[in-house]
């Protein structure tokens, strides 16, 4: 499957900003694959290289659209095998949903247990594409950031996790029983949270509460706050993009992965 067979950007994300970044695929091998569970995943890696460290990439509420594919290409150019599963489309048409509210109705149906199992499959399938299962990290954005926190508590084999502005608390349901704030004492992987200080959806007071819990549990985790950054500050295709904060946070993420041997 070629990139142009996928919708460029999710409809509900609105108009594409002039800041949008388009990373070249030159020197990369990229394709869409099917995981054993039947879900689609985007996989990209540098061409003509051997065994590579792996990054699992958890997409936003907007699904596996062009922004996530571009982020995957950027990571691959840094020498990673990147696997980004589509873990929400089984619940509804993410790409063409007309509004954020319509997306939220879809996401509310998503089973965390199924989502974590999808990432387990992505983890294991990496070996088929010359990925080193001893060097696997994970990052994710928005709703995917929440999933990264959950995965840090789920998979003891993961080396490092970097969630970007993932929600820390919310309604508990049969599908979504736990939130990151419930799991401070269960995190297994070194985790670096990247958050905006001007994000009304994740108040600074809640972040501080979670930071306190992480300290009390001696969790292998820390949170960095970018003071004037809103939610979605890495999303260069949206008006929320803040290049200085995004670039600094990206450098922090890459350094964190390398520090933990990924």
Active site residues: 142, 199, 231
Tokens 């990264």 belong to residue: 148
Q: Residues, the chain, total? A: 262
Spatial distance between the Cα atoms of 127 and 15, rounded to a whole number of angstroms = 38
152: left (phi over 0), alpha (psi -120 to 50) or beta: alpha
Tokens 């509420």 belong to residue: 61
Spatial distance between the Cα atoms of 197 and 203, rounded to a whole number of angstroms = 8
- Token pair recorded at residue 109: 């149906």
b/e 187-221 (16+ beta carbons within 10 angstroms → b): bbbbbbbbbbbbbeebeeebbeebbebbeeeebbb
Contact status, residue 191 vs residue 225, Cβ threshold 8 Å? no
DSSP 202: S
């Amino acid at each position: 499957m070629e990139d142009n067979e996928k919708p460029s950007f999710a409809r509900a994300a609105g108009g594409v900003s002039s800041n949008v970044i388009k990373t070249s695929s030159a020197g990369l091998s990229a394709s869409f694959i099917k995981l054993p569970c039947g879900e689609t995943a985007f996989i990209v890696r540098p061409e003509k290289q051997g065994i590579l460290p792996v990054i699992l990439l958890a997409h936003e509420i907007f699904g596996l659209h062009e922004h996530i594919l571009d982020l995957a290409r950027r990571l691959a150019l840094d020498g990673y095998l990147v696997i980004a599963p589509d873990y929400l489309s089984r619940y509804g048409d993410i790409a063409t949903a007309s509004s954020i509210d319509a997306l939220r109705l879809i996401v509310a149906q998503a089973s965390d247990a199924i989502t974590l199992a999808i990432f387990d499959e992505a983890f294991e399938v990496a070996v088929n594409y010359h990925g080193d299962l001893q060097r696997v990290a994970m990052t994710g954005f928005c709703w995917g950031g929440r999933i990264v926190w959950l995965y840090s508590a789920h998979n003891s084999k993961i080396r490092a996790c970097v969630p970007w502005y993932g929600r820390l608390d919310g309604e508990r349901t049969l599908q979504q029983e736990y939130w990151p704030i419930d799991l401070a004492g269960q995190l297994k992987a070194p985790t670096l949270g990247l958050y905006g200080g001007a994000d009304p959806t994740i108040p600074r007071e809640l972040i501080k509460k979670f930071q306190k819990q992480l300290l009390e549990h001696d969790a292998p985790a820390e949170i960095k706050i970018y003071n004037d950054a809103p939610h979605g500050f890495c999303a260069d295709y949206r008006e929320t993009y803040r290049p200085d904060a995004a670039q600094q946070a990206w450098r922090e993420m890459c350094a964190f992965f390398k520090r933990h041997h990924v």
